[in-house]
Amino acid sequence: MRRIGLGIDAGGTYTKILAVDSKGGVLRRSQVRSLPQKGGPSFVKRISRAVKSLERGLGAKAPRACLAIAGDVDPVRGVLRRSPNLPALEGFALRKSLSRALGRTVLMHNDANMAAWGCYAIELGRRRKNVIAITMGTGVGGGIVLGGKLWTGSTGSAAEIGHMRINDGGEPCNCGARGCLEAYASQYAIIRCAERLLSERTGGSLALRRKLGKGLAPHHLAEAALRGDPIAREVWERVGRALGAGIAGLVYIFNPDAVVFAGGVSQAGKLFLEPLKRVLRAESFRAPFDHVKVRIAKRSQLGSRGAALYSLEGD
């Protein structure tokens, strides 16, 4: 019998459902609208219907499922304590309710933790046991695998790497604090940095100026930097240095085998990896820095594939 992993990746707008084989290869996928404003029971009903339909198409049933959601997840109680994308579902007994609707055990974790599992098990093929994953998107998230096990902390809140303070009192972060890594390396931080440089430095960078206030996005900055635009290059240089400061701290603390970047923004990797690695090369403790591999994930959908795989082997 095939072992099928089932991942449910709930975002603010859509919830993706994914069945994978025991290596994380995608067997089948589908998607439903999240519509969190309709409340928890409706959300659970819609998802459970979609799961059953996907399994009918597959002709097989997954033994368990794993739900991945952005925010502060309580994996033991199976409740969303705090969620930027799905605040309407905070406090609702999601895991229990979904478990009853699906008639099987459901695990529940922060989505960046599941992306870390994807980085560990799929991207790195479990060849490295101590892995830090950093997800770069709207915010900066993270996940930690130590000795081949997910580290979720005492209350399930661990690995909020984006809120490590790298520059105390510095740039404002969406969380309300100042100087978090996220305030330098997330989508909004990158755009804020570009806007500031464009207003400070007159002349040049016409392609970027045209996008100002009209949806300037990290990928525009990546394209411009590859064309040699000096402001775009400066933006990525700053992102790389900030990430370097954050990763240096993580290497000092965890002494991991690998640090892997995943998520949309990480695809600009070439542009920020060089300044990032320059920071790491300058550190005076050599053993942990010579040991660690820093790379951009090549595979996609590591969050939902990671969750699906985790349903087979986690907790």
Q: Which of 24, 36, 40, 179 binds its own copies (CB under 8 A)?
A: 179
Residue 154 or 202: the one with the smaller Cβ distance to its own copies is: 154
Does residue 127 interact with its own copies by CB under 8 A? no
Residue from 50, 177, 197, 226 that binds its own copies (CB under 8 A)? 177
Residue corresponding to tokens 């209350």: 155
CB of 77 or CB of 104, closer to its own copies: 77
Among 153, 172, 204, 230, binds its own copies (CB under 8 A): 153
- The count of residues interacting with its own copies (CB under 8 A) is 53
Q: Return all residues near 202 (Cβ < 8 A) that are at least 6 apart.
A: none
Residues 255-284 that bind its own copies (CB under 8 A): 255-257, 282-284
Tell me whether residue 65 is exposed, middle or buried, using C-beta atoms within 10 angstroms of its C-beta: 0 to 12, 13 to 18, 19 or more. Answer: buried
Q: DSSP class of residue 173? A: -
Closest by CA position to 251, among listed 287, 278, 296, 275: 287
CB atoms under 10 Å from CB of 197, counted, come to 17
CB contact burial 206-237 (16+ within 10 A = b; e otherwise): eebeebeeeebebebbbebbeeebebbbbbbb
Q: Which helix (H) or strand (E) holds 191?
A: helix 187-200
Show the site string, 64-83: x = touches its own copies by CB under 8 A, - = not.
--------x-x------xx-
Question: With respect to its own copies, which residue has the nearer C-beta, 19 or 150?
Answer: 150
Nearest-approach distance from CB 256 to its own copies, in angstroms: 6
Which of the residues 2 through 61 are near its own copies (CB under 8 A)?
none
Phi, psi of 201 (to 5 degrees): -105, 115
146 near its own copies (CB under 8 A): yes
| Token representation of residue 195 | 């806007």
Instruction: Select the residue interacting with its own copies from 212, 223, 254, 295 (CB under 8 A).
Output: 254
Dist CA 147 CA 226 (whole Å): 38
User: Of residues 155-174, which lie at the interface with its own copies (CB under 8 A)?
Assistant: 155-161, 163-169
Binding site for its own copies (CB under 8 A): 72, 74, 81-82, 129-130, 142, 144, 146, 151-161, 163-169, 175-177, 179, 241-242, 245-246, 248-250, 252-257, 282-288, 291-292
